[in-house]
Structure 1
Amino acid sequence: MPALVESMMYVREKPWHGLGTRVEEAPTSTDALRMAGLDWSVVQRNIQVCGGAKIKNYRANVRDSDGTVLGVVSDRYKIVQNAEAFEFTDSLIGGDVRYETAGSLNGGRKIWLLARLPETEIVGDKTEPYLCFTNTHDGSGAIRVCMTPIRVVCNNTLNLALGSARRAWSVRHTGDMASKMHEARVCLEMASAYMNDLSQTADRLANTTVTRDRLREILDEMFPVTEESTDREKQNIQKLKNEYMVCYFAPDILKFRGTAWGAVNAMSDMISHNAPRRKTANYRENNWGRIMDGHAMLDKFVSLVA
C-alpha cells in the first residue's frame, strides 16, 4: 500500500509507510484539505478518438491541478469534489469538527478522511467514535461513510454488526447527488442510534457470563480442526487460539474477564493488533477495507458468544 499513498496528513503517530504531513493537533476541514494534498478539483472532459470524433455517453474525470486522468465514467456520473466531502462531514457532525487523517490513494483516484466525534463511554470505558468517508474519482466505487468506535484503553475497534442499527451507508455516483447526500445525512444522523445500540449491546454482553469451557467451545467452532487438517494447519489453528488467549488475559480485559464483552474485546484486540499469517503486499489495504466493512471473524465471534 505505500506505493498507493499519494498524499496524506495524520495526527501525531506516524503511519506504517512513513509518508504524509504530520500535525500535532487535529485540524479543521479547511486546513486538513490543504495539508492532505486534497485541495484540487475534478473536471469532466469529452473523449475523442484519433480522428476527432467524440465518444458518446462517456467522459474523462481529470484533476484540474495537473491534468491527470483519474478515470473514464458514464455521462450519468456525478462528481463529488474533495471540498464537498469535507463540507458534508462538517455539516453532518456539526460543531468544531477535527480530522485525524485524510489523503489520496492511487494517484488521486480514491480519497479518504477520518473525523473524530465527541468522546463517549461504553460500559464505563472511554470510547472515541470516528466518522470515515471514502470517495472515488475513477468510477470504481461508491461514496461510502461509516462509524468506527475505538476503545481508548487498548485502541481496538468496536466495528460490530448490529441488527438494530446501521453502521455504514453508500451510494453510487448517479442521479441527483444533492438529494442523495441529503438522504445520507438523514441516515447518518442515526449514528447516535448506532452508538446507543452498541452501548446497550456491550452492557448486555458485560452481564453475560462466559466460562472457560464455553470459551474453548467457541474457539473450537471458530477455528475447527477436521480429519483432513494437515499437521501444519493444526499448528496454525493452535497458534491462533494461543494468540487469542494472550489477548484475553491482557490487563485491559481484566475488568471484563469471564464475560461475553471481555471475550469480544479480546477477539477485537487480536484482529486489530496482531500481524497476519502472511504479510501480502496489500494486507494493510485490506485492514483499511475492514474499517469500512467490518471484520467477518469478529462478527462471527459475536454471534457465537452473544
Structure 2
Amino acid sequence: MKNVITKGLVMAHAIENINGKDCMFYVGETPWHGLGQKLNDAPTIGEAIDAAGLDWEVGLKDLQTVDGVPVSHRATYRKTDGNILGVVGPRYTPLQNRDAFDWFQPFLDAGECNLHTAGSLHSGQKVWVLAKLNRDNSEIVKGDETAKFILLSNSHDGTTAIRVGYSFIRVVCANTLAAAHSKTSGNKLIRIRHTRSSKTNLENIRDIMDNINSEFEATAEQYRFLASKNFNQVDVRRYVKTVLGIEKVNDNDIKTRTRNIMDEILTLIDGPKQSAVGVRGTYWAAWMGYNEYLNYRKGRTADNRLDSLWFGQSANDDMYAFNKAME
C-alpha cells in the first residue's frame, strides 16, 4: 500500500477532521485506510489523547419540547465546542475519553501492551482505543500469523454500549481497525451500559481478562480448523452466494451488480493475500477473501467502510460469513 497520510477530509467522511487534522493516530506502518497521524513510537496516554484529537469531555444538557415542557431524555455534547453528539436516556452517564485511555494504564505499567491506534468517528459520536499486546503471535498455518490486541470502543451518542475485549488481527493484512471490531468468534467483546457504575464495571473487567490465553488458543484452533477445511469451485461459489444472501437464486437470474460483487469476492479468495501454502483453497482463504472485500472494496470511502465494519451492517455480515465457513 502506498504510504500516504490523508489530510483534509470532507464532512461526508466518518473519521473526524478538525482544522485539516484527522482525529486519529496509528503507530508504525500506514494502515489499509491511510487515515490519521503517524507515530513512530508507542505513545504515552497523554501523547495518544493529543495525537487522536480526543482531549475533550462530554457534558449533558436537559431537553424540553418546543412548548417548554421538560422531557426525561438529555442531549450529550462536546464541552469544547458545544457540538451535540446524541440524545440519551435519563440514566446515561458518559465515559469520558480520558477514562477510556486510563483503563489501559495498568496494562501499560506492567509492560503487557502498547497503545496502537485511537480516534473518533462522526464528529466525536464514537471513540475507540486499540492496544497491541506484547505476546507471541499465533500461527494459523506456516507463514500466516495473527497478532493479539486489546480493544475499547465507546459511543457518546448512546447508540452502542461500551465495548472492551481481546481481538485477533491477521498480520498479513494491515486492516487493524476493521478486523478488531469484527463480531466473529475471534473477537471476545464485553458490553457495558452507560450508567453511573459503568466506570467501576469497566475496571472489574481487568480481572476477567487476566487469564485470556486459553481463549486466544481456542480461537486460533477455530482458524486452524478453517485452514484444514478445503473447498472446490462448487463449494466456494455456494459459500459466496450464501454470504451474499442469494444462495437460492439461479446463476442466470443474478442481477449484474450482484454478479460483479460475487466475481470480485471470488477473485479476492483466489488472490495474493490468500496464496500461501496451507491457505489457498481452504475456508480460511474463503472467509479472509470475503473479509478483504468488506475492508477494501465495499462502500465509497475507506472510513465509511471502517464505520460499517465497526458499528454497522458489515460487522454482522462478517460474523455471518465466519459462522457459515465454520459449518
The aligned counterpart of 1:256 is 279
Looking at structure 2, the residues matched to 93 and 287 of structure 1 have their Cα atoms a distance apart, in angstroms, of 27
Looking at structure 1, the residues matched to 88 and 153 of structure 2 have their Cα atoms a distance apart, in angstroms, of 18
Letter paired with 1:80: L
The aligned counterpart of 1:226 is 250
Deviation of 1:106 after TM superposition, in Å, equals 2.4
Deviation per CA, 1:144-193: give whole Å up to 9, x if none. Answer: 2243322213446485733xx86112122125224422453344446433
Looking at structure 1, the residues matched to 208 and 109 of structure 2 have their Cα atoms a distance apart, in angstroms, of 15
Letter paired with 1:210: N
Whether 2:106 is the aligned partner of 1:85: answer no
The aligned counterpart of 1:185 is 206
Whether 2:178 is the aligned partner of 1:167: answer no
Answer with 1 or 2: which has the greater Rg. 1
- In terms of mean alpha carbon deviation, does 254-263 or 133-142 score higher? 254-263
SS at match of 2:276: helix
* Correspondence list, 1:1-306, <5 A: 2=13, 4-6=15-17, 7-14=23-30, 20-47=36-63, 55=70, 57-91=72-106, 95-96=110-111, 97-118=113-134, 119-123=136-140, 124=142, 125-155=144-174, 157=179, 161-162=184-185, 167-189=188-210, 191-206=212-227, 208-210=228-230, 212=232, 215-223=233-241, 224=247, 225-226=249-250, 229-230=253-254, 232=256, 235-236=259-260, 239-240=263-264, 242-247=266-271, 252-273=275-296, 275-276=297-298, 279=300, 282-289=304-311, 295-296=318-319, 298-304=321-327
Native 8 Å contact 2:61 2:76 kept in 1: yes
Letter paired with 1:64: K
SS at match of 1:66: coil
- The answer for unaligned runs of 5 or more in structure 2 is 1-11, 18-22, 242-246
Tell me the matched-pair count.
Answer: 295
- Please tell me the root mean square deviation across aligned C-alpha atoms, in Å: 3.7
Looking at structure 2, the residues matched to 241 and 20 of structure 1 have their Cα atoms a distance apart, in angstroms, of 28
Change (3 A) 1:241 1:78: closer
Deviation per CA, 1:100-150: give whole Å up to 9, x if none. Answer: 221222222221122111242223543222222221223232112243322
- In terms of mean alpha carbon deviation, does 33-42 or 225-234 score higher? 225-234
- In terms of mean alpha carbon deviation, does 146-155 or 126-135 score higher? 146-155
Looking at structure 2, the residues matched to 132 and 91 of structure 1 have their Cα atoms a distance apart, in angstroms, of 15
Native 8 Å contact 2:308 2:315 kept in 1: no
- In terms of mean alpha carbon deviation, does 41-50 or 94-103 score higher? 41-50
SS at match of 1:84: helix
Letter paired with 1:253: A
TM-score under structure 1 normalisation? Answer: 0.76
Deviation per CA, 1:10-31: give whole Å up to 9, x if none. Answer: 2345567766432212312221
SS at match of 1:153: coil
Change (3 A) 1:261 1:173: same
Looking at structure 1, the residues matched to 30 and 148 of structure 2 have their Cα atoms a distance apart, in angstroms, of 21
- In terms of mean alpha carbon deviation, does 80-89 or 290-299 score higher? 290-299
- The answer for unaligned runs of 5 or more in structure 1 is none
Change (3 A) 1:230 1:42: closer
Native 8 Å contact 1:129 1:149 kept in 2: yes
Looking at structure 1, the residues matched to 83 and 300 of structure 2 have their Cα atoms a distance apart, in angstroms, of 32
Looking at structure 2, the residues matched to 252 and 303 of structure 1 have their Cα atoms a distance apart, in angstroms, of 20
